[in-house]
Structure 1
Amino acid sequence: MKLYLEDRSPSIKDRWDGRTTASAQSARILVPRLVRATADIYGVSLWVSTVDTVGLPEFKAAQVALANAWRVREVSVTETDTPGLIRVRALVTNPLTCTVEMAPPPCPVTDWGAVPMGPDMWGDPITLPIKDASGMVVGGNPGTGKTAWCLGLITTLAPSDSVQMAVANGKAPAPMIGDYRGVAPRISHLLGSDLEEVVEFLTGLQAEMNRRYTLMWDQLGVDSFWESKSAPSPQWPVLVVLLDECQTWMQDPRVVDLTADIEAKCRGAGIFLILATQKPTDNNLPTRIRDLCTTSLCFPVRTTAAAIAALGEGLREYPEMSPLHRMRPEFRGVGTIINETSSGYTQFKAPFCTRTLAAQVAHATAHYTRDFPGITVGRGHRITAQAPSAPVRKLRVVRGEKVTASTHPTSARRGSTR
């Protein structure tokens, strides 16, 4: 391992003495300079300024030797946006096996192109692009973290008044049974496994998508939702729709046709469709739907077919990234993700979102909940015989602290928004 440059260019004295190379005593040793160093719970990061002939390729070739010399778990070397500056990452613990519990969201989401999701395999934060995305496929065996991730995403998005969410739970016989009961106050439309209700909801969602395209130019001055400077907003929210255990309805041609049409066109309308299933093979999720999703996420599975179906044929070239290798208890919550903005497959640890935290955030942000325009199915969990007598309680969260609530000065209005 030679991460330095021995400069034997003759000095003025050498040339005066008639030497064409520097003598051993006068040879200069040029060592890459450490510019900055940071430490976290997983290890350290070093930013190094390279020298001639000792750059990124040389450091990459020395990764294993550096890990052995430093007695750390693993070393990774990556380039940065600054020419001549590289980042050396040394891990002392494995971020994928560490227990990560989700904290209350410190603030509403403002960057829809980078919604926080958790640490990747190097302990760096990984994000989910919702902006300019049509939707995503989420796969994974039962108990591997798929539903906990869905609850975590709802909890992350809940503090924003510029998003509305709908959930259809294919394994629940009724809307208020199962995994999403706790977050129901922040869900605009909550459905169970009833096929006719899901068809009615998707028909309404298709109509809302077309209505948005019709009104967008007159009201926003753009032809695509994400081109607008005034959206997302409370008047024009992002619509996030989760079909959990979607295979429950995919045998019905009406559901397939509606979902395929929405998936193909929803990107420009500000609609983000999430299709979650244990095994996203073509008999559970038709390829004409699955292949249109801009993001693919898979938690541990037991078969190659399920992994390839979720993440694409390109996974065969990166067997070390396969979710088959994570089918152990310590890797619960570890997902493999790829999207159109990433350079390849990435594994990350989804922070575990407790049902208690999800329910607290959902209740504290319930006053942001509005209907999807034109859709009435799935509203039963929010309709009461009389207006609440107590004032709405508004979420107040501080990084690192528990969720608290304060009285909101005005009651929330129940009404539809564009």
Structure 2
Amino acid sequence: MTLNDVGEVMGYAPVLIGAGLAGIAVWSVWWVVRYLRADAMTRQSIRQAVRVRRTWKRLAQMLKLCATDRMPTPLASLANTDGKPVKPRILVPELKVTHDAFGVIARATCLPGVGLTEFQKAAPYLADVWRMTRVSALPGDKPGQVTLRGVRVDPLITPTAHTPTGLPPEEYAQWDLGVDEYGMPVFVPLKEVPGVAVGGLPGFGKTSCVNRLVCDWAPSPVVQFVFFDGKVSHAHEGDYADLVQRAFAFCGDDLEEANELLKELVELRRARSASIRNVLGKKNMWHVGPSAEWPLIVIVIDEAHTYFRDHKGSDPATKRLAAFAAENARLTEDLVKKGRSVGFLTLLTTQKTTGDAIPTFIRDVCPVGLSFAQKTADAAVAALGDDIREWPDASPVLLQDPAYVGVAVMSQHGRPGFIRIRTPYVADEDAARVAEVTAHLVHHPARLLENLTGRTVVDLTKDDPEPPAMAA
């Protein structure tokens, strides 16, 4: 390189330095603006994220989250002219930190001897140093990574609200439940799922949880709803009064009325089973997905014990109720066990999901189970299975405090154990708004099937059927 070339390069130096300083200034302004526009909780999380990055290398060595490399690099070997041993290198996992309102999310790269197990052991100490309520260590998004989640405030005792957008969901049959105890979103896929059982004490969030699903799915023309509400007698009463106009059918606490509607749904299920191959070209609706002509039918049975409870007594009225309850259970079993492949999804809620409230031949074939607060361990086991005994810290019996209204427990998909979820509250006026603007999407699935096949599926004008035979 000649002197002229050097001079030419030096001439560009002020420009390059100026561009670098301008870039730093733009980044600084962007960072300050983002900080000032954030709410108070997010600002605190930003400060915590900065402190985590600044102290990580020192902290990692103190917690033995580092590896010692005694093999010198080629450059170090060449530079070693005095023959003394090359000083070993201390390797610290690379850490990328982001933040949200609840705390920080750090993604660490594993090293030899420093993996998921070591991070999980160090999690309590990280929580203390980072000034967090709790820190979790889970497998990362990519192999060889660990995701550290630290929450400063407990998401379980922080009430949240959900405002439905009124737009169709990006992915059908996915239930957005809320956030877990680390503030991470929880989604439950309901494709190929025949039934969901939800238990919990009155007033602890069962119906609100289901309402959120209805409000999120209502804008989609590929979903149709039917409601059974065992707490009320008429559609204008109770928790579903604001949503009823989005349903093609509604039933209150009358067992005979419920029996009639369940029979119609079973007839529809049979008709779909008989015609699915000719109409869809498949034996399973989920292989092509629901459509406006062949929608997913969501059956919500709230306070399910109303329809299935065994009535004891020898007088004619009690025997009649017992007969209806027994047949209602049989019809619901048909929908849950045989309706999955033709597009039926049944959601059952009750206070205790014990066998007297939801018969075990129905409950045990519902692969998704949630439980809000329960009073007894037996009720928790009925809702979540025997495995909940192995995880006492996650038991819904611990959720009886009013601070945990809206908090549910469910098993972790793909991992052992259970997670606790904060479900959001949906205001009645928002539910009513969504139902009103989506009411035009309501079509009776039987009529839709008749349009596809040209045959009558369910006679919706027939007289009330004869009551089932009374038990002897």
Give the Cα separation in 2 of the matches to 1:375 and 1:324.
Answer: 46
- Please state how far the C-alpha of 1:283 moved relative to its aligned partner: 1.3
- Any residues of structure 2 matched to 1:16-415 within 5 Å, and which? 22-23=85-86, 26-34=87-95, 36-105=96-165, 107-228=167-288, 231-250=289-308, 251=310, 252-338=325-411, 343-373=416-446, 374=458, 376=460
Q: Which has the higher contact order (CA 8 A, sep 6+)?
A: 1
- Please state how far the C-alpha of 1:267 moved relative to its aligned partner: 1.0
Q: 1:191 to 1:274 in 2, by over 3 A?
A: same
Alpha-carbon contact 1:201-1:375 (below 8 Å) kept: no
Give the Cα separation in 2 of the matches to 1:134 and 1:342.
Answer: 21
Alpha-carbon contact 2:166-2:434 (below 8 Å) kept: no
Q: 1:335 to 1:174 in 2, by over 3 A?
A: same
Q: For 1:4, which of 19, 43, 66 is the aligned residue?
A: 66
Q: 1:196 to 1:341 in 2, by over 3 A?
A: farther
RMSD: 1.9
Alpha-carbon contact 2:391-2:417 (below 8 Å) kept: no
Alpha-carbon contact 1:138-1:296 (below 8 Å) kept: yes
Give the Cα separation in 1 of the matches to 2:275 and 2:222.
Answer: 18
Residue type at the aligned position of 1:142:
P
Deviation per residue, 1:341-397 (Å, 9 max, x gap): 6654221111101111111111111111111313749xxxxxxxxxxxxxxxxxxxx
Give the Cα separation in 2 of the matches to 1:78 and 1:357.
Answer: 36
Residue type at the aligned position of 2:197:
V
Q: Hey, what does 1:386 align to over in structure 2?
A: none
- Please state how far the C-alpha of 1:174 moved relative to its aligned partner: 2.1
Give the Cα separation in 2 of the matches to 1:325 and 1:135.
Answer: 26
Residue type at the aligned position of 1:155:
C
Q: Hey, what does 2:455 align to over in structure 1?
A: none
Residue type at the aligned position of 1:269:
V
**Percent pairwise identity:** 34
TM-score (norm 2): 0.75
Classify the secondary structure of the residue corresponding to 1:335: strand
- Please state how far the C-alpha of 1:149 moved relative to its aligned partner: 1.2
Q: Hey, what does 1:381 align to over in structure 2?
A: none
Alpha-carbon contact 1:46-1:88 (below 8 Å) kept: yes
- Please state how far the C-alpha of 1:185 moved relative to its aligned partner: 1.1
Give the Cα separation in 1 of the matches to 2:77 and 2:110.
Answer: 26
Q: Max radius of gyration: which structure?
A: 2
Residue type at the aligned position of 2:69:
D
Moved more, 9-18 or 356-365: 9-18
Q: 1:340 to 1:260 in 2, by over 3 A?
A: farther
Residue type at the aligned position of 1:315:
I
Give the Cα separation in 2 of the matches to 1:191 and 1:303.
Answer: 31
Residue type at the aligned position of 1:115:
W
- Please state how far the C-alpha of 1:176 moved relative to its aligned partner: 2.3
TM-score (norm 1): 0.84
Alpha-carbon contact 1:105-1:159 (below 8 Å) kept: no
Give the Cα separation in 2 of the matches to 1:375 and 1:88.
Answer: 58
Deviation per residue, 1:284-303 (Å, 9 max, x gap): 11111110101001111111
Q: 1:248 to 1:106 in 2, by over 3 A?
A: closer
Alpha-carbon contact 1:113-1:129 (below 8 Å) kept: yes
Residue type at the aligned position of 1:233:
S
Q: Hey, what does 2:321 align to over in structure 1?
A: none
Give the Cα separation in 1 of the matches to 2:299 and 2:412.
Answer: 18
Give the Cα separation in 2 of the matches to 1:332 and 1:249.
Answer: 26
Deviation per residue, 1:116-161 (Å, 9 max, x gap): 1211111111112221000111101011011111221211111111
Structure 2 residues without counterparts, runs of 5 or longer: 1-62, 311-324, 447-457, 462-472
Q: 1:92 to 1:375 in 2, by over 3 A?
A: farther
Classify the secondary structure of the residue corresponding to 1:188: strand
Give the Cα separation in 1 of the matches to 2:378 and 2:438.
Answer: 40
**How many residue pairs get matched?**
370
Residue type at the aligned position of 2:442:
T
Deviation per residue, 1:138-197 (Å, 9 max, x gap): 101011011111221211111111100000111112232211111111111111011111
Residue type at the aligned position of 2:93:
P
Structure 1 residues without counterparts, runs of 5 or longer: 378-418
Alpha-carbon contact 1:294-1:339 (below 8 Å) kept: no
Give the Cα separation in 2 of the matches to 1:340 and 1:271.
Answer: 22
Residue type at the aligned position of 1:33:
E
Classify the secondary structure of the residue corresponding to 1:101: coil
Q: Hey, what does 1:380 align to over in structure 2?
A: none
